[in-house]
Amino acid sequence: MSSLQQFANNVASAYQTQNSLAFEQLFTLDPNASNITLLQQALSMYQDETAFEQDIEAILEDSSVALANFTNKYLHLIYYIQDNDLLLVFDLFENFYSALIPVFNGSDSAFQVPLVKNLSSALVDSAFLVDKTLQLRGKSQKANVAARLLSKIFNIMLADRSGVETNSISKRAGIFHITNLAFKVYFKLNTVRMCQTFIANLQTGGVELNQYPISQQVTYQYYLGRYSLFQNRLRLAEKYLLFAFEKCTSHHWHNKRLILKYLVPTRLLLGKSAKPQLLIKYNLLEPYGLLILTLKRGDYYGFQQHLEKYFDYFYGTFTYVLLRERGKVLLWRCLLKKAYHYLCIIDEKTGNTMPLQKCLEALQFAMHNKDLDLADAESIVVSLVSQGYIKGYIHHQMKVLVLSKVNPFPRLADVLIYTEVYDEMAEKKHQALKEQATTNGMFD
């Protein structure tokens, strides 16, 4: 019996007995594995590289036609797995992974979850490697292929309710692993909105995150935090990212630092600055230390200059625009608070009023902009009052800001942030109701 026939028999045995570990090990992608070397030698004996397919099909078709095709695609891949042509290898990988889908979609195939998880991770890594090495951009990126295939696997897992109903092993066991990989791809491709489809389907499918390993929970919450930050939902982003940071074990220093890259700016915009000790511990003092200091001082110009100095860093974490635009309001508030306290020190008769002219002078000084006029200063103050950063009102005739006698400058952390958010789920519901109404003749 040839090594190919023995391999096919082993595949049939693992498949029929639902031996998860054996099935996973048979389809290894490690080019240094001894069984791959033996299979490559056996494949090289065939003059026609497709001739071996009949031998495989003869053994496996009785078990599953899809399994025979999947096995053949695997053999094609490992024969060229060490080839220098990255596009060729990835295309073969794509064919192999695509052939996995009908096998995994069959009944009683939950035992394949470990293999599916391994191959999915390898698919994403391979796609990223090809895109980076060959500098592929746009629609030609292989990451798009990975995203499409992961979506198919996700749908198969989501549709399997057998484990939910019988409390047995389910294909859903790998659903957050696949979801996290898909999120990784979407953020890489800058198609972040696609995450919403996965999030909504998990919610409607009744998938409970707390029933999965803590490592998957941490990764999922990390991506939820980044997604919420993308939507300008700062408090929601803080909730998810804080969970991820606190639950991520201390020996995963790199992962905790990665979470902090998004948690620190999120909390900063909510009025909660990170302690220097934390920034030093995770080697983040350079980008954030002075940024926090300038914000507390109301140093508008210094804050903006620091953002520009570390533009590549903040742009790389997709927080540059958020810090630049959201930071303005916090800087104005901190600046006017300091200016008011300074006025109270030099003039005890200041009371609870602050001339708009003094507001203008402070703003001109901090922003290095002498072109600002009284109307600009008034607009800024009105904005701060309307958003709750300052308690008070403007007396137009006197041209002064009248401050509340009780806590005129609330803590930044206590200010309720209002954000207009595009609600895709609400939009879908609205569209469905509109289509239903159209069917009923309510709309033209």
DSSP string, 46-98: -SSTTTHHHHHHHHHTTT-HHHHHHHHHHHHHHHSTT-S-HHHHHHHHHHHHH
Phi, psi for 404 (deg, rounded to 5): -65, 145
Lowest mean pLDDT among 41-45, 86-90, 250-254: 41-45
HSE, CB side, 13 Å, CA atoms: give it for residue 51: 8
Q: Is residue 25 classed as helix, strand or coil in its secondary structure? A: helix
Distance separating alpha carbons of residues 289 and 267, to the nearest angstrom: 14
pLDDT at 424 over 50: no
Residues linked to residue 353 through DSSP beta bridges, in sequence order: 402
Q: What is the mean pLDDT of residues 197-204?
A: 96
- 170-203 burial, b at 16+ Cβ within 10 Å, e below that, comes to bbbbbbbbbbbbbbbbbbbbeebeebbebbebbe
Contacts of 151 (CB under 8 A, 6+ apart): 182
Sheet of strand 353-355: strand arrangement: 353-355, 400-403, 392-395
Sign of the Cα pseudo-torsion (81, 216, 153, 227, in order): negative
Average pLDDT, the chain: 90
pLDDT digits (tens, 9 = 90+) for 426-443: 444 544 544 454 344 333
Output the pLDDT for position 216: 96
Contacts of 230 (CB under 8 A, 6+ apart): 192, 318
Count of CB atoms within 10 A of residue 48's CB? 7
Distance separating alpha carbons of residues 411 and 306, to the nearest angstrom: 24
Count of CB atoms within 10 A of residue 121's CB? 15
Q: What is the DSSP secondary structure assignment for residue 166, as one 8-state letter?
A: H
pLDDT at 327 over 90: yes
CB 242 within 8 Å of CB 271: no
Using alpha carbons, select from 155, 109, 143, 81 the residue that is nearest to residue 14: 109
CB 323 within 8 Å of CB 265: yes
pLDDT digits (tens, 9 = 90+) for 204-234: 999 999 999 999 999 999 999 999 999 999 9
pLDDT classification of 344: cutoffs 50, 70, 90:
confident
- Tokens for 102? 């009908």
Give CA separation, 194 vs 151, 188, 201, 333, 424, in Å. 10, 12, 12, 36, 11
CB 118 within 8 Å of CB 24: yes
Distance separating alpha carbons of residues 54 and 63, to the nearest angstrom: 15
CATH code assigned to 329-414 = 1.10.10.10
Output the pLDDT for position 163: 59
pLDDT at 55 over 80: yes
Select the more confidently predicted residue: 416 or 313: 313
First to last CA, the chain: 72
Residues linked to residue 355 through DSSP beta bridges, in sequence order: 400
- Tokens for 25? 């090990």
pLDDT classification of 264: cutoffs 50, 70, 90:
very high
pLDDT at 246 over 80: yes
Q: What is the mean pLDDT of residues 382-404?
A: 92
CB 344 within 8 Å of CB 350: yes
pLDDT at 349 over 90: no
Output the pLDDT for position 438: 38
Residue position matching structure tokens 């019996």: 1
- Tokens for 444? 């033209």
pLDDT digits (tens, 9 = 90+) for 146-196: 999 999 999 999 999 875 555 568 999 999 999 999 999 999 999 999 999
Distance separating alpha carbons of residues 213 and 177, to the nearest angstrom: 10
pLDDT at 255 over 50: yes
% of residues, the chain, pLDDT over 90 = 77
pLDDT classification of 59: cutoffs 50, 70, 90:
very high
Q: Is residue 395 classed as helix, strand or coil in its secondary structure? A: strand
* Cα 91 to chain centroid, rounded: 26
> Does pTM top 0.85 for this prediction?
yes
Output the pLDDT for position 166: 55
Contacts of 89 (CB under 8 A, 6+ apart): 77, 80, 81, 83, 126
Output the pLDDT for position 249: 93
Residue position matching structure tokens 């979470």: 259
pLDDT digits (tens, 9 = 90+) for 6-27: 999 999 999 999 999 999 999 9
Q: What is the mean pLDDT of residues 112-127?
A: 97
